[in-house]
């Protein structure tokens, strides 16, 4: 509570000082040659216009995008430049990891796949924390789609299989994954979560404006 009031007090003092400085500056402008007044006024106007263009560049070009994620049905998003940038980051981070590539039986290591999924989880959270939240009338945003991916797909799988596999690795350090009795079960669950994750990745691509994400993902283009 003290910190809250302290922060408010600081803002009040700073605002008062800024207002005082602005008043002194305006008074000073009245004392100098009118040509300087116009020059300074033009400079201030230029700064305001530049800031306005920056805000416009971040929020302009609203685009309505409809995407279908089998787990969520059809969703409608209204995206701007900021949302497209976040969607592109999420797409790139997802498509460049082995976590979205199908792992067939006896191919690759489950530990590597789980580590990749965990890395995707952590990176997605960092992207969300570093971006400003989007707003939407219907509640669907790029950020909410990413959070759904984390909580509905990645978190349940990792929470279940990471400790089980780790326990096997600790109890049988001399054995390979092929000797793990639950390896086939884990691979089945992994294939399912990878298939679901790819649908989210395709959705991020649509929101980012990627023309043909299947080429980048190494999958066949759908008709």
- Report the topology of domain 63-217: 1.20.120
Report which of 213, 223, 220 is spatially closest to residue 91, judged by C-alpha positions: 213
Q: How far apart are CA 213 and CA 220, in angstroms?
A: 10
pTM metric for this prediction: 0.68
The residues near 80 (Cβ < 8 Å, ≥ 6 apart) are 58, 59, 60, 61, 62, 63, 134
**Is pLDDT of 212 > 70?**
yes
**Residue extents of the structural domains in the chain:** 2-59, 63-217
Of 10 and 172, more confident: 172
| pLDDT at residue 2 in the model | 36
Strand partners, 75: 67
What is the number of other CB atoms lying within 10 angstroms of the CB of residue 83? 26
**pLDDT, tens digit, 9 for 90 and up, residues 104-152:** 666 778 999 999 999 999 999 999 999 887 776 666 889 999 999 999 9
């Amino acid at each position: 509570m003290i910190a809250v009031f302290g922060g408010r007090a600081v803002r009040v003092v700073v605002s008062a000082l800024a207002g005082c400085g602005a008043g002194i500056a305006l008074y000073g402008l009245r004392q100098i040659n009118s040509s300087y007044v116009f020059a300074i006024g033009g400079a201030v106007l230029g700064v305001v216009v530049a800031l306005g263009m920056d805000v416009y560049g971040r929020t302009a070009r609203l685009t309505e995008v409809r995407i279908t994620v089998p787990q969520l049905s059809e969703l409608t998003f209204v995206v701007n430049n900021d949302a497209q940038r976040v969607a592109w980051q999420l797409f790139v981070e997802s498509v460049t990891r082995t976590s979205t590539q199908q792992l067939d039986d006896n191919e690759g290591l489950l530990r590597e796949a789980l580590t990749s999924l965990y890395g995707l989880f952590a990176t997605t959270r960092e992207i969300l924390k570093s971006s400003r939240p989007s707003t939407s009338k219907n509640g669907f945003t790029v950020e909410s789609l990413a959070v759904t991916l984390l909580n509905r797909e990645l978190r349940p799988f990792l929470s279940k299989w990471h400790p089980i596999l780790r326990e096997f690795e600790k109890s049988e350090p001399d054995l390979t994954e092929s000797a793990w009795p639950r390896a086939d079960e884990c691979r089945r669950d992994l294939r399912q979560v990878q298939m679901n994750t790819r649908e989210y990745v395709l959705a991020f691509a649509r929101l980012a404006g990627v023309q043909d994400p299947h080429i980048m993902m190494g999958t066949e283009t759908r008709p």
